Structure 1
Amino acid sequence: MDVSSQYRKAWEGFWSATSDTPGEAIWDSDPSLTSVPHTELLLPYADTALPVVDLGCGNGTQTRYLSTVFARALGVDLSHAAIGHARRADTAGVAEFAQLDLVDADAVRDLSRRIGDTNVYMRAVIHQSEPEARPAVAAAVAALLGARGRAFVVELTPASKELLQKASEALGGPPGKLRRVIEHGLKPADASEEEVRELLLGAGLTVLASGDTALAQTEHLADGTRIDLPARWFVLAAAS
C-alpha cells in the first residue's frame, strides 16, 4: 500500500514552496515548546540508549533536539523536499534523515531491521493522513518499537479544527501560514480522538500514559494570540 499520488503531491508541493527560514511552516515551533516537554513525558518510560525515529520529521527541527537526548536520532518524512530542508538545516550533522512512506509496510520493516528496537516520536501525523492510510501509520509505530522501544504520539483533537475554522473565517481570511496549508490541500485535525485511540490499540500498542496538551504553532490570530492547537498525547509500548 502507498499513499495516493494526490496526497504525496500535496506534501511535496508544500515543502517545495517553503523556504529554509525557521518557523515558516505553521507547525515548525521551537523545541522548547514542543519536543522538549514531550520528551520529558516520554523519558520515564524510555531507554535513551536506544535510537529514536521522528516520524513525519518535516524540516527536522525536533529531530535535532531529540539527538541531544537519545543515542541516535533519525528523521523520516514522506516528502523528499522536506528531507532536503532537514539535511540543510542540520549543519552540525547531529541527526540522520531519510525519505520514508509510513504506509509502505515493506519499507518500514526494512528500516526496523536496520535500526533495531527504537523509540518513536510522532507529532500530528495520523490526523492529517488519508483515512484509509491511518491504520498503516499506527502499524508503522508498532513495527518500529519492537519489544523495548517506547513511543510518544501526539495528535490534534476536533477542538483544533474548530479553532482553525475560526481563524480561517476571521476578517481578512486565514493568516498567511495557515492559508498556505489550506492552499496546498492539507487537512489538519481530520481525525477524532476515538479514532486515534482505536487505531493505536488496533495496531497492537498499549497506552502507558496519556493526557491533554496543546501544540504551539508559529502563527497568530488577528488579536496577536499565538495559535495553540488542542491535542492529546500518548506514551505507548508494544502490547505484551
Structure 2
Amino acid sequence: MSVTSRYRDAWEGFWRDAPAEPGGVIWDAEPAVTAERHLALFDPQLADPELPLVDLGCGNGTQTRFLADRFARVLGVDLSTAAVDLARRGDPAQRAEFAQLDATDAKAVRALHDRLGDANVYVRGVIHQSESADRSAVAEAVAALVGERGRAFVVEPAAAAKQVLTDLVRGPAGPPPKLRPVFDHGLAPAEVTDEAFAGLFHSAGLAVLAVGEMPLLLTEFDPAGSRIALPAHWLVVGADGAQRA
C-alpha cells in the first residue's frame, strides 16, 4: 500500500511553496521549544542511544539538524521530495542524512530497516496529518523501524486541538497567514481521537512505555501576542514485551 497521488501531490505543492526562512511554516518552531523538550522525555526511555535515529516526517529538517547534534547518526525522511530537497539545502554541513520515504510503503520501510538495522524514531505530528486509512500503516512503519531494540517518541495534537484551530480560522482576521497554506493545499488536519492514539501502536505490536501531555507550540501568535499552542499528547513505544507504562 502507498499513499494516494492526491495526498502526495498536496504535500509536494505545500513544501515547494514553503518559505525557506526559519519559522516560515506554522509548525516549524525552533528546537528549543520542540525537539529539545521532547528529547528530555525520550532520553530516559532509550534502551540503546547509540542506535541510528530516524526523524519520520522530517519536513524541512529543522528538528533533524538539532537531533543530529545529539545522536551519532540521524536520518530525516519525508513523503515529499520537495521537503527533502529543502532539508538538504538547509544542512550545508551535512550533519544529517535525508531521504524520501512513503511510510505506508511497507517494502520501502523494510528496506530502510535492512540498511540501518534497529533504530530510534522521532515522530511529530505525522499521524493527524495522515489520511485515516493510512494511520495504521504509519504505526506499522514505526514498529518495523524500531525492531527489537529501538524506541519511538511520538507526539500528536490531542482532540482538543481541533477547537483551537477552528477558533483561529473563524477569528475576525480569518486564519493566521501561516495557517492558510495548510488549507490552501488541502492539508487540513484530520481528527484523531485521544482513545485511538495509543491503540494504533498497540495494534502494530508495540508496547507503550511512557505517556504524557505537552502542548505543541506553533510559530504563529494570537492577536494578544501569545504563541499559539495546540493541546497534544506524547508516548514512547518499543517492541512488545518491554515494560509497559
Q: Shorter-chain TM-score: which interval?
A: over 0.9
Amino acid paired to 1:143: A
Question: How many angstroms does 1:71 deviate by?
Answer: 1.4
The CA distance in 1 between the partners of 2:148 and 2:226, in whole Å, is 43
Amino acid paired to 1:229: L
Q: Is the 8 A contact 1:158 1:193 kept in 2?
A: yes
Please state whether the residue corresponding to 1:228 is helix, strand or coil.
strand
The CA distance in 2 between the partners of 1:69 and 1:81, in whole Å, is 26
The CA distance in 1 between the partners of 2:141 and 2:226, in whole Å, is 36
Partner of 2:239: 238
Partner of 1:100: 101
Partner of 1:149: 150
Partner of 2:78: 77
User: How many residues in Structure 1 have an aligned counterpart in Structure 2?
Assistant: 240
The CA distance in 1 between the partners of 2:240 and 2:138, in whole Å, is 17
Partner of 1:128: 129
Question: How many angstroms does 1:117 deviate by?
Answer: 0.6
User: Could you state the TM-score of these two structures normalised by the residue count of structure 2?
Assistant: 0.96
Q: Is the 8 A contact 1:170 1:222 kept in 2?
A: no
63-72 vs 133-142, which moves further: 63-72
Q: Does 2:37 align with 1:40?
A: no
The 5 Å alignment of 1:1-240 reads 1-46=1-46, 47-240=48-241
The CA distance in 2 between the partners of 1:159 and 1:224, in whole Å, is 21
Amino acid paired to 1:212: E
Provide, for residues 46-94 of structure 1, a one-character-per-residue CA deviation record: whole Å limited to 9, x for no partner.
1221110000000001011111111100000000000011000001110
The CA distance in 1 between the partners of 2:166 and 2:112, in whole Å, is 38
The CA distance in 2 between the partners of 1:195 and 1:128, in whole Å, is 15
Question: How many angstroms does 1:193 deviate by?
Answer: 1.1
Amino acid paired to 1:24: G
The CA distance in 2 between the partners of 1:98 and 1:220, in whole Å, is 32
Provide, for residues 28-60 of structure 1, a one-character-per-residue CA deviation record: whole Å limited to 9, x for no partner.
010000000111111112122111000000000
The CA distance in 2 between the partners of 1:123 and 1:65, in whole Å, is 14
Provide, for residues 129-153 of structure 1, a one-character-per-residue CA deviation record: whole Å limited to 9, x for no partner.
0000100000000000011101100
Please state whether the residue corresponding to 2:19 is helix, strand or coil.
coil
User: Could you state the TM-score of these two structures normalised by the residue count of structure 1?
Assistant: 0.98
The CA distance in 2 between the partners of 1:157 and 1:186, in whole Å, is 17
Please state whether the residue corresponding to 1:173 is helix, strand or coil.
coil
Q: Is the 8 A contact 1:157 1:189 kept in 2?
A: no
Amino acid paired to 2:22: P
- Deviating runs (4+, > 3 A) in structure 1? none
The CA distance in 2 between the partners of 1:109 and 1:214, in whole Å, is 32
Question: How many angstroms does 1:189 deviate by?
Answer: 4.8
The CA distance in 1 between the partners of 2:49 and 2:199, in whole Å, is 28
The CA distance in 1 between the partners of 2:152 and 2:71, in whole Å, is 13
Q: Is the 8 A contact 2:158 2:193 kept in 1?
A: yes
Amino acid paired to 1:44: P
Unmatched runs of 5 consecutive residues or more in structure 1:
none
Unmatched runs of 5 consecutive residues or more in structure 2:
none
Q: Is the 8 A contact 1:56 1:123 kept in 2?
A: yes
The CA distance in 1 between the partners of 2:198 and 2:188, in whole Å, is 19
Please state whether the residue corresponding to 1:176 is helix, strand or coil.
coil
Please state whether the residue corresponding to 1:111 is helix, strand or coil.
helix
Percent identity for Structure 1 against Structure 2: 55
Question: How many angstroms does 1:198 deviate by?
Answer: 1.1
